[in-house]
Chains A and B, each alone.
Chain A
């Protein structure tokens, strides 16, 4: 039978003394900082499968590069950043489930990264209910329209309304005032129809004809005779796998003499301009969120961004020239992650209890000068509408390359506020 140890007064004093010594030692300091040095977990809602997979792949690469850059520079508030990626299948139902998984299963600090509008709109209610900040990189007008909630923000990419509106002055002054629009007959096309029609009319122009193409269409020849003869500018925003057919048939219809043609690069993101059938695009104009080809006046910020993500001067992967990036959009991931970093540092973010402070800190942001954190260009954030505004680019296809011909001002992209999320309670 063993003796039970007794605690004497002397041994108690020795123990307390030893404890106090240990507590004041550098070892404990390191332990405490290791506790608070747990990674900041960012849930990345990625379109790895489904219609958005090409975008998702490049959003993933950009996100990886941005996190590496942030971690190399010391992380956020001295803590490393960890990305938790989940595929949403480009589906709004799965998107909402993924946001719940970030909040309740992975214990992420914030969610981020969504592109396709229906996934954003389908997931936003979950973000609001789970009270997890949801930073989207979608370019949809859904955030600024006031349709979502205080937990959903779009600080890293401009929205379609401002992009389309900013095109009208250049189109009217340089290409023509009589426009015919060809667009897919669903929300994306309807946004272009409504926003551009109003914008071109404000410039003294007019839309002669709206030609809506059903989304199930695979051949477009029958729509081209509807283009009025006095059309000066043809505005197109076709998307999806049929876009190559669309361009080819458009070329066959017009031959060498066509009106000026203006389109949104969304149609050809991740598509090589040297693809057979796209020769007809020579001399046509495109909106670009960020110029795919490195321009003569390339900034050091764009150079650094390309190098970090692994994109060559033609906008393709450095390891595979056929793997063309979604350059007009993917900078949004880079910039959004840097804004999350800035917001967390401004609010002294420590953990999920500080999520509201983080949102308030981002809402308080205004000017975002062009920098390594904002390589696409300068921006102004509107905290009330949770939407950022920034310069847009217009490029012309010359010798199979997109050459920048115009940069809009930020003022060209502004429109009156349609909501004020700061009046909503958390």
Chain B
């Protein structure tokens, strides 16, 4: 069996497993899984830039929030139907990521981190400043009645789950395929040694530019999906902690792995969910778990599995 075939089977098998889980899990966990899938889509977007291209952005919340606002405002103020609004959210994130990429890619390393952080902070403050439309820090609710596609209410738990799974699957399959194409190989080349990649004749700036746009657009798609599936849009999602979350998720799950983002989000989600049931000091438990993982599984959960036992894992 070739690595390609194994990879296809792994990804399709994962989607099949998620379908089964969605059908058999109790309502509470079904709802959690829907959220995890949307957030994992965000993490997949982040992973394209951080895990594969080696560019650490500390401002990805602005892309997630751009998708969220693009979609949410189109529905809330413009009365757009869900699919058009989702399109608006994705376009908003794509345009923002193009602009940010053109400016931020003039820097490298730590400067790139700081510039993306600053752009995200500016985006966050703008969302607060334009409170008349965005609802500022309070945000706004998208009317329950408008959250439906072709008569299917996205507020129904099972419909919402499958919608979230569809969004996740598209992002997963696109990135998995992309990393098998020459374009994806060049991104990995940039991560490993940008100078050498450039010397080999590749236009690394163009590749990095496309990586930021793809990464930002996937993250924005997740934000737009979050808005329609869960009915809330607010500036909290543009705050700095929502830029740090995808970094944690990807580091935990395994940077540069296709299924790592999902594992990282699910691990973090249930760690918080269960630990908070045990003690009020659950953040201490979360912190300790993160330190232990950093010490003993530096490549993240999936990364460590790949390193030790399953070298073909994509």
Contact = CB atoms under 8 A, between A and B. Distances in A.
A261 B234 CA distance: 33
B141 A104 contact: no
A100 B234 CA distance: 19
B138 A142 contact: yes
A7 interface: no
Contact of A129 (B28, B144, B236): B144
Given A93-B236, A129-B155, A185-B129, A121 B28 contact: no
Contact of A125 (B135, B231, B277, B282): B231
B137 interface: yes
Interface residues of A, number: 36
A86 B282 CA distance: 11
B139 interface: yes
Contact of B234 (A121, A148, A216): A121
Interface in A83-108: 86-87, 91-94, 96-97, 100-101, 104-105
A188 to B, nearest CB: 7
Contacts of A117: 137-138
B27 A118 contact: no
Contact of B125 (A94, A96, A187, A214): A214
Contact of B35 (A92, A97, A128, A188): A97
A49 B139 CA distance: 21
A291 interface: no
Nearest to B142: A125
B131 interface: yes
Nearest to A125: B231
Given A91-B236, A92-B236, A122 B136 contact: no
A101 B274 CA distance: 11
B193 interface: no
A378 B170 CA distance: 57
Nearest to A95: B232
A140 B138 CA distance: 9
Contacts of A216: 121, 125
A341 to B, nearest CB: 26
Interface in B185-236: 230-232, 234-236
B81 interface: no
Nearest to B32: A97
Contacts of A185: 128-129
**Looking at A49, A129, A149, which has the most chain B CB atoms within 10 Å of its CB?**
A129
B236 A186 contact: no
A122 B141 CA distance: 7
A71 to B, nearest CB: 23
Interface in B280-296: 280, 282-283
Nearest to A141: B138
Interface string A336-351: 0000000000000000
A357 B160 CA distance: 28
A241 interface: no
A124 interface: yes
B237 interface: yes
Interface string B128-150: 11011001111111101000000
B141 A148 contact: yes
A104 to B, nearest CB: 4
A216 B276 CA distance: 30
Given A86-B276, A186-B131, A187-B135, A147 B31 contact: no
Contacts, number: 93
Per DSSP, are chain A's interface residues mostly helix, strand or loop, or mixed? helix
Contacts of B31: 100, 104
A118 B236 contact: yes
A215 interface: yes
Interface string A34-49: 0000000000000011
Given A121-B234, A125-B230, A129-B155, A186 B136 contact: yes
Nearest to B156: A129
Given A93-B236, A190-B131, A118 B137 contact: yes
B280 A87 contact: yes
B143 to A, nearest CB: 9
A121 B128 contact: no
A96 B282 contact: no
Contacts of A48: 280
B26 interface: yes
A187 B131 contact: yes
Given A186-B131, A190-B131, A214-B125, A125 B137 contact: no
A307 B131 CA distance: 42
B138 A187 contact: yes
Interface string A178-191: 00000001111010
Contacts of B273: 97, 101
A286 to B, nearest CB: 23
B136 A92 contact: no
Contact of B137 (A93, A124, A187, A214): A187
Given A87-B282, A121-B140, A186-B128, A100 B28 contact: yes
A399 B260 CA distance: 61
B141 A121 contact: yes
A122 B131 contact: no
Nearest to B127: A186
B138 to A, nearest CB: 4
Nearest to A94: B272
Interface in A275-311: none
Contacts of A49: 280, 283
A105 B54 CA distance: 40
A122 B236 contact: yes
Which 5 residue pairs are nearest across A and B when measured between Cβ atoms? A125-B231, A104-B28, A187-B136, A187-B138, A105-B28
17 contacts: A97-B32, A97-B35, A118-B236, A121-B139, A121-B141, A124-B141, A125-B144, A125-B155, A125-B231, A129-B231, A185-B128, A186-B131, A187-B128, A187-B131, A187-B137, A215-B125, A216-B121
